[in-house]
Every structure is written in C-alpha cells, then in structure tokens.
Amino acid sequence: MAAIDGLPPLREVIARHGLAARKALGQNFLLDLNLTAKIARSAGDLAHCDVLEVGPGPGGLTRALLAEGARHVLAVEKDERCLPALAEIASAWPGRLEVVHGDALEVDAAARLTPPIRVVANLPYNVGTELLTGWLTPPRWPPFWQSLTLMFQKEVAERIVARPGTKAYGRLAILAQWRCEARIVMVLPPEAFTPAPKVHSAVVQLTALPAPRFPADAKVLSRIVAAGFNQRRKMLRASLRGVAPEIEAKLVAAGIAPTARAEEVSLEAFCTLARIVAAD
C-alpha cells in the first residue's frame, strides 16, 4: 500500500541512499510507518504547533509528524548521509519541513521556531539524557516547549517517571516531575527497530506545567538532589554535609529524618529542604 505522502517505503529509501545504521550515532531506525504515526499521535494535536525533531535519520517519524498535520517541523540531524532522503520529504511537504545539519546539543532550536512548540524524537541513546536534562533546566520556566514526546531505552524512561522508594528514583525523576507531568505512553520491543537494539525502548510524554509543583530555587534544589543521589547509599546527614551548614537541623525542619537516604525522600520534601537552605 502506498504511503499517504506518496513517498517510497523506508527500506527502499535506506537502500537507495546507502543509510546503513551507524552505532556511534545511536542509529536504530523505525521503518514501520504505522508505528511512527502512533508515536506522532501520542504527542497530541500537532495542527497548530511547530515541532522540533532531533535525529530524523531516514525520516520515518518526520513523515508521520507531517502527515499528522504539524504546522512546521525543524529536524536536526548530525549524519550528512541522511540529508538527501530528508530533502525528498521536504519536497513532498512544501514549506513545512526545515532540515538542519548539525549537532542537536549545539543548535539553538528555540530561536528557529514559533510557539506553541512540541518536541518529538526517537533520540540517539548516547545524547538522549543530556538533551533531556537541557530541556528540563532552562533559565526560565515555562520553557520554550509545551511537551516532549521522547523515545528512550526503557530503563531511562523508568528513571524519568520513577516514584520515591524505588531503585529508579533519582535526579532525573526529580528534574522531570518537579515541573512536568511525566508518563510512559508506549513500550516497544527491540524488533520494532532496524537494527534491533539489545533492550526494550519506551516513549515518555512530558507536559510542562505552568509553574513548579512546589516552590524552590532551581539551582539549590539541583545541588541538594545531585549531592543526595551521588552517594545514594549514604544517609542524608552525611551526603548533604557539604551542601549547607547545620544540615541535620535543616533536614529535621523540612520533616526529613537525617538518617533517611535520598531515594526515600519525596519531591515535596526536597523542595521544602531547598527553601530552608536558600533562606539561610
């Protein structure tokens, strides 16, 4: 069956442009356009949105984003080999796809897009967490994006949505859940990708809240959480010793047992502690 954009199947595109996957670039491609359509739909109504896609590769998800009605797609791809295939997609959707050849860690995407903006990507595993951390810690909140719909290795996705008292709970969960609604919307087996990775993957949907769930200074909160989880087996009275003077009294004032470990502490309690530390 012909695709709705009239473009050839992805296997043919890959063969014609010689896009053998490169491990160093985290290339695990999605070739099933029904699946990419499902991912694009999980990002919500794209009709009036600009979309940032990191790592379009041969363009399976890009095609779905355009077919789902995205107003404008900015696709940032590091691998030069993919550019001719992406140019064919741009011709099929005149004026709606802009391809930038570059490293997503360095491209100022916000400056090239018009709000409302959604980010949708099957991220390269080697820079996925760094990109997410950057999107979650902008200088001002709300951020330039309304939502992030991102494919990660399942283990990383679980860390983003983790609850206190679990092994996966840590800095990423706090960063994500402090100012976003975060949930896993899809789990995919290795066979969904070409080549198949060793592990399952999952799509996480993060929606930016207008304001943080609990007040706290972002830098102080980040410092506390980093120190607490860097030595996650230690009691907080020890792991946070360098963060502020008289930390034991501050923990007590925040309602946290000084003998507790970071993974037992709720987001709300971390924010209370951050306010007490900042008030010093």
For binding to ligand SAM (CB under 6 A), which residues are involved? 25-30, 54-57, 60-61, 76-79, 82, 103-105, 122, 124, 127
Output the smallest distance, CB 35 to ligand SAM, in A.
9
Residues 6+ apart with CB under 8 A from 142: 208, 209, 210, 211
Q: Which is nearer to ligand SAM, 50 or 79 (CB)?
A: 79
d(CA 265, CA 163): 10
Instruction: Quickly list DSSP for 140-180.
Output: SSS-S-SEEEEEEEHHHHHHHHPPTTSTT-SHHHHHHHHHE
DSSP 199: S
Q: Which is nearer to ligand SAM, 127 or 240 (CB)?
A: 127
For 82-106, b/e burial (b = at least 16 CB within 10 A) is: beebbeebbebbeebbebbeeebee
Q: Which is nearer to ligand SAM, 76 or 236 (CB)?
A: 76
Q: Which is nearer to ligand SAM, 28 or 177 (CB)?
A: 28
- Whether omega for the bond prior to residue 116 falls within 30 degrees of 0, making it cis, is yes
Beta-bridge partners for 230: none
Q: Which is nearer to ligand SAM, 124 or 228 (CB)?
A: 124
| Token pair of 31 as six digits | 């070739």
Contact 71, 95 (CB under 8 A): no
* Residue whose CB is nearest to ligand SAM in the complex, by number: 55
Q: Which is nearer to ligand SAM, 28 or 149 (CB)?
A: 28
